[in-house]
Amino acid sequence: MPQDNDYSINTIIGPNTNLAGDIEAGGFTRIDGSIRGDVKARGRVVIGERARMKGNVSGTNITVGGVVCGNIIADGHMVILSTAIVIGDIITRRIQADDGCFINGMVAVCSTDERWTKTMSEHKDAQGIKSALPVFNKTYG
């Protein structure tokens, strides 16, 4: 499991910032604005209480305080604050969900490496099928 000892913020999407597109960050990422796109970080991710996201999020340790419409993958632990709304699936090794948060989706907590590998494989397979459906429907539908 990755270590997350670096607390210096590498990427900040500030309040009143709107971004359309994917982000790949090398470390700690904080989001307080609005994003339409995926966020992939090789470190910690904090989605502030006023943040709004439509896209998938992945990182080591993830804290959600705002709204995320998309899947979340935390290779370490996941904290969902009472102000959070998550509409999508969550895959993590450990989770803390505060009273009052809203989650609409599947939550998989994988306490062993074997379970993590299996769940991630199933998730990637499902994503591959979902991405192929529009092409299939357009061709054969």
Phi, psi of 81 (to 5 degrees): -75, 165
Q: Regarding predicted confidence, which is higher, 79 or 4?
A: 79
Tokens standing for residue 88: 């999508």
Paired strand residues for 83: none
How many other CB atoms are there within 10 angstroms of residue 120's CB atom? 15
Residue with tokens 């505060």: 98
Domain residue spans in the chain? Answer: 9-109, 112-141
Question: Averaged over 16-29, what is the pLDDT?
Answer: 92
The predicted model scores a pTM of 0.84
Question: What would the pLDDT profile of 82-109 be if each residue is shown by its tens digit?
Answer: 999 999 999 999 999 999 999 999 999 9
Distance CA 19, CA 13 (A): 8
Distance CA 84, CA 102 (A): 6
Distance CA 106, CA 91 (A): 8
Question: Averaged over 55-75, what is the pLDDT?
Answer: 96
Q: pLDDT tier at 137 (50, 70, 90 boundaries)?
A: low
How much is the mean pLDDT over the chain? 88
